[in-house]
Amino acid sequence: MLKIDNITKSFGGLRAVNDVSFSVNQGEIVGLIGPNGAGKTTLLNLLCGIYKVDSGSVRFEGNDITNLAPNRICHMGISRTYQIPQPFDALTALSGVTVAVINGKKRENMTLSDAGLDASYFLEFVGLFAKRDTLSRDLTLYELRMLELARALATSPRLLLLDEAMAGLNPGEASKALDMIWSAQEQFGVTILWIEHVMKVIMKAANRLVVLQYGEKIDEGPPEAVMANEQVIQAYLGGSDVND
Amino acid sequence: MVSFELKRDRILARWKKQKYEWIIEPRYWRNPILWSMLLLVVPLFITGYPNILTMITVANLYACITIPLALQMTGTGRLNFGPQLYLGLGGYTSALLNLHLGFSPFFTLVATILVCMLVSLLLSPITWIAKGLYFSLITLILPLAFLDLTFIYGSLFRGEVGLMGMSPVINLGRITWNYVSYYYLSVFMMLIFLFVAEKIAQSRFGVTMAAINENEDVALMMGVNVNKYKVFYYVFPSILTGIVGWFIVHTFRTFAGITYLPLDFMLKMLIIVMIGGRASVYGMIPGAYFVCFLEDSLRSLGTVNYFLFPLILIIVLVALPRGEGIYGLYHKRHPRDYFPVMRVRRE
Amino acid sequence: MLLVKLQSVLVYTFIWGSIYLLISLGFSLICGVLRIFHLGYGVIFVLAAYGTWIFIDAGLGLFPSILLMILLQIAVSLLVFYKGIFQRYLDREEILLTLTMLVFMMVTHLANYIYPITDGVNLPTTIIDGTFTIGAVRISYQMLFAALTGVLVTLIYIVFFLKTRMGLIIRAMSQSTQASLLLGADVNKMYYLAMILSIIPPTICTLMIAPFWSIEPHMGANLMMTAMLIAILGGLGNLKGSIIASYMIGFIHAGVSFLYVSRFMGFAALVITLIVMIFKRGGLFAGETIW
């Protein structure tokens, strides 16, 4: 479904992403892991069109989406959440999701009230229906993350890019969020590419893992095989000067 | 083509594959209708005082200028310090075309709309190129550059004296009837502007506009074509302001750039926006009336009014609660209504 | 003929550029340190001219009047602008900008009301009377002194910001207020200092140019427009940019006046600033640090 071929991106002298290629098939959950500074969020931004690719190509369902404008990419069926939640502060939760519903795809025969109904369905799915009239700046972190998820799902994506959806949540909230993401995958049929640091969650959830370090892909495969790889362990824990 | 359908509390309009609905709720319409009725019957009570009628006409025109301005500020997300550029542009276009080429008021209206549309389309790239404060600065400079231009080509624009003697929109013979007709024209123009602006603000364009104002990058990622919205919100209010310029030319029949282009006038408009209630379209009307009445009542005191006018405005601005202005005193705001924070330095 | 014109352009570029240095220095300082676009900056010019005149009119000598006027300026700047407006409305910038403009309008019209244009205001601040010639250009000694004062004050300020401890603290504050607070800088006192420092150059400028520039209540608006243009051209809040931009605008004014028609002076400066802003977003030295 998503095919990334040899993309490279440099900022000045720094090679943030260096010749990375992998693909994501329909219906699976792919985890993108790696130590901090590996270029994971940069890769996500490149996929979304926020940064321009230096070289290489990205194909989505057969169409070339390299360097397309972000709103066009959204219309093609990709949406994302953010590492630090970015809600629309002065809008209510319902209005925020309504914006996503109206603009995500070309909708026929939809007025503002119909979009509001659609939005409240998504809010109820993530469990925020009771808070639909609260301003986004008054929501807690967990609710903000759920709002982000609702907003991303409201644009009817086929590929969902999650950026550290578990950061800052305690274990109870984390397992609730994981259940939510799983049910989203079942109910809406989305494919997920997930950047994550919390290993417990990503090991459980992902079908496949891709590991990045210093902008390069160092491994790819099922979670157990990847986690047993020497190079990956060294990337996270340090080099040969660590005593076992 | 367009099919209408009446339901219990709304009217649906369908056109091709789009559906628009208009919710008719009596409680939302009662107050505006009462106020409009009041405005319409005012001339009957003050036939003996024509200067009050002119004052209210001018207040209506101020409201007509600030209603698009309020729309523009939330739409492009930045403070526009120079709406009077299009006022001057529209005014001079209609005045010059009328005086030198003999166009009738209707054709000058068409020409004004075209010229304002062209110029604002030409200038619209600054909405996405210039960041926050620089947008405000460029819009601050542009009317002054235009004013300089009118002085330089003084023979054409008649600089400080202004152009005179343009043909009126309606000529009913007697002067009082003319004044009354101008008053009604200005009331209708104001109501139409208010209606259009409110419809835009409460529609899906309004919600998207609020989202762009809050966080542009996220809105871009959600499928909003941000630049297109910004260009629309720059061009459309500019055209409306140009139409007000046309109206001034053909009702007051004199037009001088020096009255409308410098900083003093811009400050008055900005004050109306602040006092009327930030970016609330209905609030512009009480704001405009307040400023106009204040200015006129102080004028009788002599030259000290130039000093008292800013002083009183400072006191009012500081004393009004929560930044909602005069309209906030009358209208209790729902917490869930959108109340924008106008960020001047937007990075 | 052309040689004479070119000489005039050169000489007047230096003179006007140096004078503009003074008026833009204060403005850039406030922009850079307080991060506020101080639209009430023109008040300083009006107060400098008319404040001194009020005291001279009341019978005091020149130097006591200047001293009292400086005290008045400091009081207005700190109490009205800083404490009254900036501190209270920092998070609601549109009200801040509107209020500063209103205060400026109020002061200008007050000056106009008490001393209308027809009341000739004359500040006896000429240092040496008379004119002299450089090449084919005749200028007055006062103009030369104004220009030299401009250069001198700018040099003093540069030394202050680059070499002294307080200058270092102010430079740090202009880049990050929170970090400076964490490192122990007394941010409020430094803001007071910055506001007082920004008053001095325009006051000196007004006193120096009083003999040959017309003193009228609306001079604040004109000079402030020029200061704003210079600040925008050079990059908001950047001293190096202001210095270079002052001479650029001086050159544009002189060039257009002598080589073309002097009516186009202001317009040419506006157009060139707009063009620079389109191509180099943010002015010549964008980046919003003091140096």
Tell whether the model's pLDDT for residue A243 goes beyond 60.
no
The pLDDT confidence band at residue A197, using thresholds 50, 70 and 90, is: confident
Q: Do B222 and A95 touch (CB under 8 A)?
A: no
How far is A236 from chain B, CA to nearest CA, in Å? 31
Q: Do B137 and C105 touch (CB under 8 A)?
A: no
Q: What is the pLDDT of residues A95-114, one digit of tens each?
A: 999 999 988 888 877 888 88
Considering only alpha carbons, which residue of chain C is nearest residue B137? Answer: C232
B133 neighbourhood in chain C, CB within 8 Å: 37, 236
C34 neighbourhood in chain B, CB within 8 Å: none
Q: Which of B218, B226, B227, B341 best tests the A interface by mutation, with the highest count of A CBs <10 A? A: B218
Interface of B with A in 166-205 (CB under 8 A): 203-204
Q: Is the pLDDT higher at C130 or at A58?
A: A58
Q: Do C110 and B313 touch (CB under 8 A)?
A: no
Q: Do B345 and C35 touch (CB under 8 A)?
A: yes
Report the DSSP beta bridge partners of residue B15.
Answer: B2, B18
Top CATH class, C9-124+139-279? mainly alpha
Q: What is the pLDDT of residue B251?
A: 83
Hey, which chains touch A, using 3+ CB pairs under 8 Å?
A: B
Task: Say if B18 is an interface residue toward chain A (CB within 8 Å).
Answer: yes
Q: Do B23 and A111 touch (CB under 8 A)?
A: no
Task: Say if B341 is an interface residue toward chain A (CB within 8 Å).
Answer: yes
Tell whether the model's pLDDT for residue A238 goes beyond 70.
no
Question: Where exactly are the structural domains of chain A?
Answer: 1-25+40-61+159-164+208-226, 87-157
Pairing of strands A29-33, A191-195: parallel
Tell whether the model's pLDDT for residue A240 goes beyond 60.
no
Considering only alpha carbons, which residue of chain C is nearest residue B134? Answer: C282
Among B79, B264, B306, the residue with its CB nearest the CB of C113 is B306
Instruction: Count H helices and E strands in chain A, helices first.
Output: 9, 10
B338 neighbourhood in chain A, CB within 8 Å: 90-91, 95
Give the burial class of A198: count Cβ atoms within 10 A of its Cβ; 0-12 exposed, 13-18 middle, 19 or more buried. middle
User: Cα separation of B194 and B71, whole Å?
Assistant: 10
A82, A84, A81, A63: which is closest to A72 by C-alpha?
A63
Task: Say if C95 is an interface residue toward chain B (CB within 8 Å).
Answer: yes
A135 neighbourhood in chain B, CB within 8 Å: 335-336
User: Cα separation of C241 and B230, whole Å?
Assistant: 31
Question: Where exactly are the structural domains of chain B?
Answer: 46-330
Q: What is the pLDDT of residues A106-137, one digit of tens each?
A: 887 788 888 889 999 999 999 889 988 888 88
Task: Say if A159 is an interface residue toward chain B (CB within 8 Å).
Answer: no
Query: In a 3-state reduction of DSSP, which class is residue A126?
Result: helix
Among A88, A112, A151, the residue with its CB nearest the CB of B204 is A112
Contacting residues for A106 by C-beta, under 8 A, at least 6 apart: A75
Considering only alpha carbons, which residue of chain B is nearest residue A155? Answer: B222
Top CATH class, B46-330? mainly alpha
**For residue A208, what is the enclosing H or E element?**
strand A208-213
Q: What is the mean pLDDT of residues C179-195?
A: 83
Specify the residue for token string 């409305």. Answer: C89
Q: Mean pLDDT by 10-residue block, N- to C-terminus, for chain B (347 residues)?
A: 82 81 74 84 76 87 91 81 89 85 83 92 83 78 84 74 67 74 88 90 86 87 89 92 90 81 85 80 87 87 80 85 71 74 62
Tell whether the model's pLDDT for residue A242 goes beyond 60.
no
B271 neighbourhood in chain C, CB within 8 Å: 98, 102
Stated pTM of the model: 0.86
Hey, which chains touch B, using 3+ CB pairs under 8 Å?
A: A, C
Task: Say if C97 is an interface residue toward chain B (CB within 8 Å).
Answer: yes
Neighbouring C-beta atoms of residue B65, cutoff 10 Å:
27
CA-only gyration radius of chain A, Å: 18
Interface of B with C in 10-49 (CB under 8 A): none
Task: Say if B218 is an interface residue toward chain A (CB within 8 Å).
Answer: yes
Report the DSSP beta bridge partners of residue B19.
Answer: B14
Interface B:C, Cβ pairs < 8 A: 93
What's the CATH superfamily of A1-25+40-61+159-164+208-226? Answer: P-loop containing nucleotide triphosphate hydrolases (3.40.50.300)
Q: What is the pLDDT of residue C189?
A: 85
Among B17, B224, B338, the residue with its CB nearest the CB of A103 is B224
Task: Say if B95 is an interface residue toward chain A (CB within 8 Å).
Answer: no
Pairing of strands A159-163, A78-80: parallel
Hey, which chains touch C, using 3+ CB pairs under 8 Å?
A: B
How far is B304 from chain C, CA to nearest CA, in Å? 6
Among A74, A90, A114, the residue with its CB nearest the CB of B223 is A74
Q: In what order do the strands lie in the sheet with B2-6?
A: B2-6, B10-15, B18-23
Q: What is the pLDDT of residues C216-254, one digit of tens each?
A: 887 888 888 888 888 888 887 788 888 889 998 998 888
Q: What is the mean pLDDT of residues C255-266?
A: 80
B176 neighbors B50 (Cβ within 8 angstroms): yes
Q: What is the pLDDT of residues C59-74, one digit of tens each?
A: 887 888 888 888 888 8
Quote the ipTM score. Answer: 0.85
Q: What is the mean pLDDT of residues C265-278?
A: 80
Q: Which of B221, B224, B343, B346 best tests the A interface by mutation, with the highest count of A CBs <10 A? A: B221
Q: Do B130 and C281 touch (CB under 8 A)?
A: yes
Q: What is the pLDDT of residue C12?
A: 87
A abuts C (3+ Cβ pairs < 8 Å): no
Considering only alpha carbons, which residue of chain B is nearest residue C89? Answer: B318
A115 neighbourhood in chain B, CB within 8 Å: 204
Q: What is the pLDDT of residue B347?
A: 46
At position B144, the amino acid (one-letter code) is L
Question: Where exactly are the structural domains of chain C?
Answer: 9-124+139-279
Q: What is the pLDDT of residue A150?
A: 92
